[in-house]
Structure 1
Amino acid sequence: MTNINLSEPLAAAAALLEKYPLLSGLPADVAAHLVRDASALRATAGQVLFGEGDEARHYLLVAAGQAEVMRYSYNGDERVFRVFEPGQLMAEAAMFMPHGRYPMQARARSDVQCWRLCRHRLHEACRRWPDLALRLLAGLSKAVYDQVNQVDWITSSSAAERLANYLMGLHERQGAALTLPLNQRQLAAHLGIRAETLSRLLNDWQSQGYISGKRCQWVVHDPAHLAGLSVTARRPF
């Protein structure tokens, strides 16, 4: 085992990184190695953290606040692919892309504090600790699998089924009272439906008593109905 002397801020970053499931059970030296040469990044809500097409030299560890990865469609709509919370890694997959560029834009969703971790340290760690490389590969493989399922679901499901599945996913994590991480225009783009269709569905379900609320705050009153609509999205593995 090699002891790596870290400054107090980097030691705090290493401690945060050790809690990430990717590093669970691995030697503490792995996190210490990954945060070497790391730098702090602070941004206010709406500020771009990195742009689509920028050279991908760093991935991010979110320490406080929220960040999101997104793209603009050809008609100018925003499509938010994922929102990241404290303790999560962003853009680690981009560190292995052959073109060496970020495939999406990252933006601060709220005031956010991150650590910029170096690509070359991640590559070195994968060579030194093969278990880390295997876990990264497993995580990236699952992400590909999930995206294949998502594309299949979007092309074969109705707007109501997609919305129900999305709300039930939030219901599993948040309970009956839901806070949508996306505004309604972003959510419509995420689900591949028109904003007008989303608004109509929410209004119809509210009038029928399945849900209640407005904007980003909703309460699920009939989870069984929504679960019935979303059941075809559930896969056996």
Structure 2
Amino acid sequence: MTFINNAATPEKLITLLSTLPRLAGLAPQVLESLVQGAQQREHRSGETLFREGAPAQHWLLIEHGCVEVVRYGLEGQELVFHCFLAGQSVAEAAMFMEHGRYPMTARTRGATAVWQLGRDAMRRTCERHSELAIRLLEDFSKRLYRYVNEVQWLTTSNAPERLAAYLLRLPSTQQGEITLPLSQRQLAAYLGIRAETLSRLLADWQSQSWLRGHRRSWTLLNASPLRDLAYGSTRPF
């Protein structure tokens, strides 16, 4: 079930948008133009927010919860590309795609509240305010560069190297605690390795006291050997 909060204030949304690094510091009238027609929506876990191939009419800003974007193979296998958390935006690049369709499916994981912002408002604001357009181009370029590097890494690395690099990229506490945003089955598919291989690697690394945990909750006990494995995953710029 989806709850639409028509009483939500644009000022609240503008404050949230101003926390995005690529939008921080923009003039108030730019953000006010972006939020025209926006709606706040609350979803239960597992609800689909948009489907691959559907007309891309909205992009999302997550107020709380989690949104995962997925694609399905020809045989129906599911691949989770990314999990977006509170304070992050989803699908703004789709607002500028020539075919005008979403390239992936988005769904909620857990109770989630999002702001739905319009494609037309985004494009009009970019036409009127070049600073916003340039900032978005810079952000899209940064993401493209990161994805190019990831593709190269995935095609030239082995399973231990890929898993080590992935674990080190995750946010961690001072105690080294990390949470996998994907199930182990989904993570194995994302890394292009067998689920059995992923399970074996985690068990081996636990036996060597590199990490400790189970399922999605882990603690990095000795990150040094993981950094050695992941050395080639980073670029100098």
Cα gap change, 1:33/1:45 in structure 2, threshold over 3 Å: closer, same or farther?
same
Q: Do 1:180 and 1:217's aligned partners in 2 also have CA atoms closer than 8 Å?
A: yes
Q: Do 2:18 and 2:25's aligned partners in 1 also have CA atoms closer than 8 Å?
A: no
1:197 aligns with 2:191: no
Aligned-partner SS, 1:222: coil
1:162 aligns with 2:155: no
Aligned partners of 2:130 and 2:106: how far apart in 1?
29
**What residue in structure 2 maps to residue 232 of structure 1?**
232
**What residue in structure 2 maps to residue 183 of structure 1?**
183
**What residue in structure 2 maps to residue 58 of structure 1?**
58
**What residue in structure 1 maps to residue 121 of structure 2?**
121
Relative to the length of structure 1, the TM-score reads: 0.93
**What residue in structure 1 maps to residue 81 of structure 2?**
81
**What residue in structure 1 maps to residue 4 of structure 2?**
none
Aligned partners of 2:233 and 2:8: how far apart in 1?
46
Q: Offset at 1:173?
A: 4.2
Q: Do 1:69 and 1:81's aligned partners in 2 also have CA atoms closer than 8 Å?
A: yes
**What residue in structure 1 maps to residue 37 of structure 2?**
37
**What residue in structure 2 maps to residue 25 of structure 1?**
25
**What residue in structure 2 maps to residue 146 of structure 1?**
146
In terms of mean alpha carbon deviation, does 157-166 or 188-197 score higher? Answer: 188-197
**What residue in structure 2 maps to residue 102 of structure 1?**
102
In terms of mean alpha carbon deviation, does 22-31 or 173-182 score higher? Answer: 173-182
Aligned partners of 2:204 and 2:229: how far apart in 1?
15
Cα gap change, 1:217/1:95 in structure 2, threshold over 3 Å: closer, same or farther?
same
Aligned partners of 1:167 and 1:174: how far apart in 2?
13
Structure 1: 5+ residue runs without aligned partners?
1-6
Stretches (4+) displaced over 4 A: none
Q: Offset at 1:153?
A: 0.3
Q: Do 2:59 and 2:89's aligned partners in 1 also have CA atoms closer than 8 Å?
A: yes
Q: Offset at 1:30?
A: 1.3
Q: Do 1:51 and 1:102's aligned partners in 2 also have CA atoms closer than 8 Å?
A: yes
Paired letter, 1:41: R
Structure 2: 5+ residue runs without aligned partners?
1-6
1:112 aligns with 2:151: no
Identity %: 47
Structure with the higher helix share, 1 or 2: 1
Paired letter, 1:145: Y
